[in-house]
Chain A
Amino acid sequence: MRSPDLGAAARPEGVPPMRRTVLEAVGLHRAFGGVQAVDDVSFTLAEGGSLGIVGGSGSGKTTTARIVAGLERADSGRVLVHRRDRGEHRRGRAHRLARAREVQLVFQDPYLSLDPRTTVGAALRETLRLHFPGADHPRRIAELLDQVGLGEREADALPRQLSGGQRQRVAIARALAVEPAVLVLDEAVAALDVSVQAQILNLLAGIRERTRIGYLFITHDLGVVRCVTDDVIVMRQGRIVESGRTADVLARPRHAYTRLLLDSVPRPGWDPRSIAAARRALAEMS
């Protein structure tokens, strides 16, 4: 059940709204030792859109996410947010803060992505003090916690007193506190229980509806990508092998690897043996 598109009335039937591109990756390359982890990767993300990157391990999806977030440097290629090249590495506080407001990141592991010695409220305050020094911090902290479904009790808690789902909500709140243009979610729900995962996915969908943040969602789980993204790119061994609207790619996959990924999802009538054979065939092909 999608919430209605508010611009629908003004456009002809069936034509998707033209949105500004907020994030653009052009020809990214990155090698580690002799291995090409990211090989000529390009994609765009529209404002308020949601792009998924799927693939198995070694596909390069996490490295791509880290390049976009600024934790890794690409060997070549550019990442543009609002047409501004993120790769220009200039020193200085203003530049550092501006880059942070372009892209924020939510990590996979809820147990390691928060400082164990800092309370939730203090962590949020740190972020607010850094980016919005003059603002009303207590009010904004309450707002952020409310936005992610947490309350005052959690504000005074240390990370170890919270569950995995709660910590992930804190991580999302902290990323949102910066008011970024793009939110990168690197397997952000992979470590959570199914029921908690559903809550967080719903939360993310809600946030996207209310703000104009674009999501870059890295995952290996095709069910999750179906649920939370509009478009998807499929990566294998550093390269993009397929891309398009999520619904289309999952319903009518064109590349053998995409088909292999889909077949690997367990369901009644599933034949795991045929997958092993398909996997070997694919390996021989490339």
Chain B
Amino acid sequence: MTVLDIRAYHLRLPDTARSVLVGVDLTVAAGETVALVGESGSGKSLTSRSVLGLLPDGAATAGAVRVDGEDVLAMTPDRLRRLRTGTAAMVFQDPRAAVNPLRRLGDFLTEGVRLGGRLTAAAAAERAAGMLDAVGLPASVLGRYPGQVSGGMLQRVMIAAALMGEPALLLADEPTTALDVTTQAEVVALLADLRERFGTGLLFVTHDLGLAAAISDRVYVMYAGRIVETGPAGELFDRPRHPYTAALLASTPRPDAPGGRLTAIEGRPPGLREELTGCPFAPRCPLVTDLCRRQEPALRPAGAGPGHRSACHHGDRTGEEATHAQS
């Protein structure tokens, strides 16, 4: 069952020369972990925020963003509120910025489900205690203030809060970036556990390729507001079919790699004030040809498996280059 279905989604902000999201197609099935990978300006955060209807002022959209069958873009504010406290929930990057430091964590956990009287105070408190247990925290945390718990514990509270409404879809926007590297592993383990237990679909937004490769079933790679490659995690990282994915992999430093220079991509991603013709990655691509500059490639099947697609005119040649670079 598909819990998230984004279809041909375009997003345009005022005062920009081009759309900030172009033709995004993305699905997440129940119980599946999907990683959305990209750097700054790729549009990954905007995509995940669109799922909850958190659009910036003046945004113009086209296409559909369906959560559990219903189009978020067409929802009334009331329905949106029910969506955000029930069907879908988000865990943000910085737990300290996401919570009111002057209120107890127990209040924070229960306020969503108590809105509109969906649960009584007592029932909400019980569920909160249950959720805290699921994330490995004692019920005493309910009475504490955010300043009294560590970053890792607070992020776990955020996850518990996200699960309070028993959502079908969980969105995590760089949930471990602000955490210590050892805490990161714990939080990721927790998300995996909970996914199994509750059958929630998880959309994990990150810039960390290694993390995406390690925990997700499928991966979408974004560049300049477009999906440039998607496929099963293992296959995508073993043999990427888009030069950008390959370049990202090559420029990620790893502790087990031989020391020395990394192959860095020259230049920067295109800004929003530049118009684009042809492939957005063309100015920086090692495989670029005239065709690339003229015609924007569509997302087409590439590689071995059925789910593997890449938006590149020369996707086949990428595969060879990538394996060559990694060996």
Contacts and interface: CB of A to CB of B under 8 A. Distances in A.
B211 A266 contact: yes
Interface string A137-148: 000000000000
B253 interface: yes
Nearest to A164: B40
A198 B260 CA distance: 11
Given A267-B210, A268-B213, A199 B264 contact: yes
Query: In terms of DSSP, what is the predominant structure of the interface of chain A?
Result: helix
A224 to B, nearest CB: 5
Given A198-B253, A227-B253, A205 B181 contact: no
A194 B209 contact: yes
Given A1-B260, A202-B261, A205-B261, A195 B255 contact: no
Interface stretch (B81-89, B159-167, B185-193, B302-310): B185-193
A157 interface: no
Contacts of A118: none
A241 interface: no
Contact of B253 (A163, A224, A263): A224
B208 to A, nearest CB: 7
Given A221-B253, A262-B255, A268 B237 contact: yes
B130 interface: no
A193 interface: yes
Interface string A210-242: 000000000011111111000000000000000
Given A195-B264, A220-B180, A276 B214 contact: no
B264 A202 contact: yes
Contacts of B171: none
A11 interface: no
Nearest to B210: A266
A95 to B, nearest CB: 38
Given A193-B207, A223-B254, A275 B186 contact: yes
Contacts of B210: 265-267
Interface stretch (B69-77, B118-126, B244-252): B244-252
A247 to B, nearest CB: 6
Interface of A: 1-2, 56-58, 163-165, 193-199, 201-202, 205, 220-227, 246-247, 250-251, 260-270, 272-273, 275-276, 279
22 contacts: A1-B261, A194-B39, A194-B248, A195-B251, A198-B264, A199-B266, A201-B262, A223-B254, A223-B255, A226-B254, A226-B255, A227-B259, A261-B181, A264-B182, A265-B181, A266-B211, A266-B213, A268-B214, A268-B234, A272-B185, A272-B215, A276-B186
3 A-B pairs closest in CB distance: A223-B253, A198-B251, A272-B189
